[in-house]
Amino acid sequence: MKNILCNIVNPISPEEIQFLPKQVISIEESKISAITPLSEFQGRIDEDRSNEYALPGFIDLHTHLSQYYIRGLYEPALLPWLNKYVFPEEERSKNIEYAEKLSRDFFSAMLKAGTTTCVIYTAPFFSACDMAFEIAQETGIRALIGMTMMDMNCPENLPQNSHKTLEESILLYEKWHGKNAKLDYIFTPRFAPTCSLELMKEVVKYAIEHNAWIQTHLSENKEEIEMVKEIFGYKSYTEVYQKAGLLTQHSIFAHCIHLNDEEIKMLAENKCKIAHCPDSNFFLKSGEFPLQKIEEAGIEYGLGSDVGAGTSLNMLYHTKMMNYRQSDYPVLPAKALYHITLGSAKLLGVDEIIGSLEIGKEADIVFLKPPLNYPLKNNGISQLVFCGQEFSLTETLVAGRNKE
């Protein structure tokens, strides 16, 4: 057993963050076995972190491992950016040595940023995705990982065969599902412009039969939306996914910026999930996420870094951007922190295991030291959200083990 003295910042709801100063977190094996006020604690303190905050490990709901090295390479719109930087970079992951180094660097950076759970797109190669799983298992991080699927309208050096990309995705699912409690496969059709209706239907059929997760992109860029309408002939982007059967309670749609009211209703009725990526949306000038409408519709959402259009893996940075990217709808610190911790854990159906610091949950914990001029107190939570870059991350635990 390990006993750590610290100051707990614990998400309760989008409206409430609990601040518990001078608490001793006791960790036994992989779980939190006790949380005791220092004034009542009788045992031995193993680590004195009385000048640090302890938060649940952060959750990144949408990120691209294959794009980690191209952060900050700029084109002012999604489609030109994909063609100029993303597709050539993803092609490099066909080289297994390159894919291994990329995975090691990516997961190391994730943990150093305090992210303990992530939902990942890899390059469209079986070997690159399999390598990502191997390195994720080695580092001990929690992840849903999927090989990007494309079978049309993509560069000739990237996969275009419908049968092959589906077959390889199923092989990856069968290899990794159930092998490690921290890891699972997520089916990953990139987005409608590069995926045939037939491919998406086959993905959905298999995923529903096996209760598996699916992730894709939706309504990120106006030019992209027009492209989808031209390819498929439906009146909306969301209708394409509806026709494919992709609107499920285990589907995560990234971006969802330019949705009309009918599309929002479709997502809500089918209990779909959304990954909100404010930094990426700003970087590519894609538009403003309709946060208030999404909340009013009752759609579950969480925050994603969306690296590489997102410029940072630091999820505290993305909580700040969540507020900054709303023109007139304020996002309070409690809500922002909730959507990189307990909110995203609930969305993924793992809130009984992670997402908050509670007795019986896995000890996924991030320790942060504030600057000397930031006192450790309840309103310091606001400074965590808006000045997070000034806090020093001193340690990241996954299931009670140091993973920095």
CATH of the domain at 263: 3.20.20.140
- Write down which residue in 280, 313, 346 finishes a domain: 313
Average pLDDT, the chain: 96
Residue 235 lies in a domain: yes
Instruction: Please give the backbone phi and psi of residue 217, each rounded to the nearest 5 degrees, phi first.
Output: -110, 150
Domain identity same for 107 and 129: yes
What's residue 156's pLDDT? 85
Question: Region 233-251: what's the mean pLDDT?
Answer: 98
> Which residue in 49, 20, 5 sits closest to 368, CA to CA?
49
What's residue 403's pLDDT? 60
CB 363 within 8 A of CB 116: no
Indicate whether 80 pLDDT > 80.
yes
Domain identity same for 65 and 48: no
Per-residue pLDDT band at 311 (split at 50, 70, 90):
very high
Per-residue pLDDT band at 157 (split at 50, 70, 90):
confident
What's residue 372's pLDDT? 78
The DSSP letter of residue 101 is: H
Domain identity same for 52 and 67: no
- Write down which residue in 280, 295, 313 finishes a domain: 313
Task: Centre a 10 Å sphere on the Cβ of residue 153 and count the other Cβ atoms it contains.
Answer: 14
Residue 31 lies in a domain: yes
Per-residue pLDDT band at 402 (split at 50, 70, 90):
confident
Question: Region 4-26: what's the mean pLDDT?
Answer: 97
Reported as a single tens digit per residue, the pLDDT across 165-207 is 999 999 999 999 999 999 999 999 999 999 999 999 999 999 9
Indicate whether 398 pLDDT > 60.
yes
- Write down which residue in 259, 284, 313 finishes a domain: 313
Domain identity same for 105 and 26: no
Q: How many domains does the chain have?
A: 2
| Calpha distance 164→111 (Å, rounded) | 33
Residue 330 lies in a domain: no
What's residue 380's pLDDT? 79
Q: Which has more confidence, 380 or 350?
A: 350
What's residue 219's pLDDT? 98
Give the global pTM.
0.97
Indicate whether 363 pLDDT > 70.
yes
> Which residue in 238, 106, 86 sits closest to 148, CA to CA?
86
What's residue 374's pLDDT? 80
Per-residue pLDDT band at 57 (split at 50, 70, 90):
very high
Residue 216 lies in a domain: yes
> Which residue in 365, 371, 376 sits closest to 387, CA to CA?
371
Domain identity same for 7 and 150: no
Angle at 8 between CA 4 and CA 13, to 5 degrees: 145
Residue 348 lies in a domain: no
Q: How many residues does the chain have?
A: 404
CA 299 from centroid of its chain's CA atoms: 16
378 is in which domain, residue-wise?
Answer: 2-56+357-402
Domain identity same for 25 and 130: no
Reported as a single tens digit per residue, the pLDDT across 109-153 is 999 999 999 999 999 999 999 999 999 999 999 999 999 999 999
Residue 246 lies in a domain: yes
| Calpha distance 21→50 (Å, rounded) | 8
The DSSP letter of residue 57 is: P
Indicate whether 404 pLDDT > 70.
no
What's residue 84's pLDDT? 96
Domain identity same for 130 and 248: yes
Residue 334 lies in a domain: no
Domain identity same for 252 and 175: yes
Domain identity same for 89 and 218: yes
Indicate whether 210 pLDDT > 60.
yes
* CATH number of the domain encompassing residue 366: 2.30.40.10
Domain identity same for 49 and 63: no
Indicate whether 396 pLDDT > 80.
yes
Residue 384 lies in a domain: yes
Question: Region 13-29: what's the mean pLDDT?
Answer: 96
Angle at 120 between CA 116 and CA 124, to 5 degrees: 150
Instruction: Please give the backbone phi and psi of residue 181, each rounded to the nearest 5 degrees, phi first.
Output: -60, -20
Per-residue pLDDT band at 381 (split at 50, 70, 90):
confident
CB 243 within 8 A of CB 317: no
Domain identity same for 157 and 235: yes
What's residue 375's pLDDT? 75
Domain identity same for 171 and 38: no
What's residue 162's pLDDT? 93
Reported as a single tens digit per residue, the pLDDT across 249-294 is 999 999 999 999 999 999 999 999 999 999 999 999 999 999 999 9
| Calpha distance 166→149 (Å, rounded) | 8
What's residue 373's pLDDT? 75
Per-residue pLDDT band at 47 (split at 50, 70, 90):
very high
